[in-house]
Every structure is written in structure tokens, then in C-alpha cells.
A and B are shown apart, each in its own frame.
Chain A
Amino acid sequence: DIQMTQSPSSLSASVGDRVTIACRASRRISTYLNWYQQKPGQPPKFLIYDVSNLQTGVPSRFSGSGSGTDFTLTISSVQPEDFATYYCQQSYIDPPTFGQGTRLDLK
């Protein structure tokens, strides 16, 4: 199975900060990389697919980049509703696997 490793596991930010979350795959996955956001007590929400494509309705302050094994999720200016846990997921090969999550909380 492809292992997905996110860093950091948690980070603190203030409203308006720019934050970046990294995701590394244990082997090359081309651009088959997706991101989800999960708030407490809610299911994950589909944010970004194929590295950099925003799902409908996702604010443009979210962006994704990378290819091969290294990927990033960036929030250009964190808003109060962005404090949540973020997961990357590879869809290159079965089984689909998720990173362990990065918790973004308020500094």
C-alpha cells in the first residue's frame, strides 16, 4: 500500500495567516492527490482533487500544488471557518490511502 505522510501533525495560526500543509507519498502518484477538510462531529468535506483543482464552492484562498511524491495544501489567508483537520488522500492505486491528518487550530 502507498503510505501518505502529512506534516506537521498540528499547527496553530491566527486569522489572516498563510498556512501550508505538506503531504508526502511513499511512491510516485503522479497527480492523483486529493484533500479533505473535517470539522469536529462532521464528515470529511471534499476540497481539492488532482492536486490543484478546487471542488465546486471551495473558496479560492485554498490552493494545492505538487507532483510525484510531494504535495502541499495552502490557505492564503486563514478564516475562522478554516480551523479543522485536513487529510490528503492518494487515488493513484488501490487501496486509496489517507494521510494521518493535520489539525489546524487557533493560536
Chain B
Amino acid sequence: QVQVVQSGAELKRPGASVTVSCKSSGYTFTSYYVHWVRQAPGQGLEWMGRINPGGGGGTKYAQKFQGRVTMTRDTSTSTVYMELSSLTSEDTAIYYCAREDGAGATKLDYWGQGTLVTVSS
């Protein structure tokens, strides 16, 4: 069965960077895009970007995060990473990774459990 497991909660100081991991199992890792979506406390869902774990690991990022986010993958461990730099309190949120269903549009069928990132001095 498909499983998506994320790394644990993080506490970071303003200006620091954070890296969240997302390990997939139960399917062919390189055949499905992985997206990152975040949710600030009590707020809605915000798309951050996606990575193609196959091929060259191509990425597409939301304009809001361009220059501050980097998504990478390790095919040997079926793991995707999301690094966000220059953190501010506005980045305090739950970060989710999610698999795209493979049909050619952004339909997110399996989600990780979420990783809480808290930015505080």
C-alpha cells in the first residue's frame, strides 16, 4: 500500500533554514510527481511547488517561494526533500508532501502526515 512518511517537527530561529523529508513506499517512486503544500495555523492550503522524482529531478516552484525553496530527491531511498531558507515567523506552518496521481494534472491522492515547522526566536 502507498505510504508517505515525513520527518518530525522542527523549531527554527528566524533567518535559519529548514529541511523536511518525505519518504515514499508502496509504489514506483520515479513515476509520480511529489508536491509540497503548507498550512499556516488555522489557515488554508498553499501550494509551494513540485518535483519530478524521475529523470533529472525537475522542479517547479510557486513564484512566492522562488529563490527560497529547493526541492530535491534521492531515488536510492525514495525520499524527497524540501529546504526553505531565510525563515520568518510567517513560515510557521504544517508542511505536507503529497503524491500527484499520475494522470497529468495536480490531483494529490496520497499525503504525508505533515511536519510542523515553528519559527521563533
Q: How many A-B residue pairs have CB under 8 A?
A: 54
Interface flag for B114 (CB, 8 Å): yes
Residue in A34, A91, A101 whose beta carbon sits within 8 Å of that of B44 in the complex = A101
Question: When the two chains form their complex, are residues B44 and A44 in contact, meaning their CB atoms are under 8 A apart?
Answer: no
Which B residues lie within 8 Å of A45 (CB)?
111
Q: A98-B45, A100-B44 are in contact. Are A91 and B107 (CB under 8 A)?
A: yes
Q: How large is the interface on B (under 10, 10 to 19, 20 to 34, 35 or more residues)?
A: 20 to 34
Question: When the two chains form their complex, are residues A94 and B60 in contact, meaning their CB atoms are under 8 A apart?
Answer: yes
Cβ distance B112 to chain A, nearest Cβ, rounded Å: 7
Interface flag for B108 (CB, 8 Å): yes
Residues of A within 8 A of B (CB): 32, 34, 36, 43-46, 49-50, 55, 87, 89, 91-92, 94-101
In the complex, the 8 A-B pairs of residues with the closest C-beta atoms, listed nearest first: A43-B111, A91-B105, A96-B106, A91-B106, A98-B45, A46-B109, A49-B107, A100-B44
11 pairs, CB–CB < 8 Å, chain A vs chain B: A32-B105, A43-B98, A43-B111, A44-B37, A44-B45, A44-B96, A46-B109, A92-B105, A95-B47, A95-B63, A98-B44
Residues of B within 8 A of A (CB): 35, 37, 44-47, 60, 62-63, 96, 98, 101, 105-114
